[in-house]
Amino acid sequence: MAIDTRGETADKPSGEKKPKRTSPALFYRQIVAELRKVIWPTRKELISYTIIVLVFVLIMVGIVAGLDALFTEGVLRIFGGA
């Protein structure tokens, strides 16, 4: 639930009534205003970040798969496997 907080402080006595709701139009304008503040990555930065994330995920998958195989082998040797 969005509320209109323009010009109001957060230090309200607890006895006051609820703040009124904002209209959908005002809510939309606030969203657009916030999105204009965002510094969007360039295409080159986006490709670089995507490659970095994919490489990191592949490394983590390899580590987890390796540990899984290691622990599986260890458990089978200790408890005897088929």
Q: What is the pLDDT of residues 27-51, one digit of tens each?
A: 999 999 999 999 999 999 999 999 9
Cα-Cα-Cα-Cα dihedral sign, residues 13, 7, 38, 23 = positive
More confident call, 15 vs 17: 17
Q: How far apart are CA 1 and CA 66, in angstroms?
A: 47
Q: pLDDT confidence of 5, banded at 50, 70, 90?
A: low
Q: Give the CA count within 13 Å in the CB-facing half-sphere of 67.
A: 5
pTM exceeds cut of 0.75: no
Cα–Cα distance for residue pair 29/32, rounded to 1 Å: 5
Q: CA 25 to CA 6: how far, in whole Å?
A: 15
Does residue 72 register a pLDDT over 60? Answer: yes
pLDDT the model gives residue 18? 78
Residue 4 token pair = 């209109």
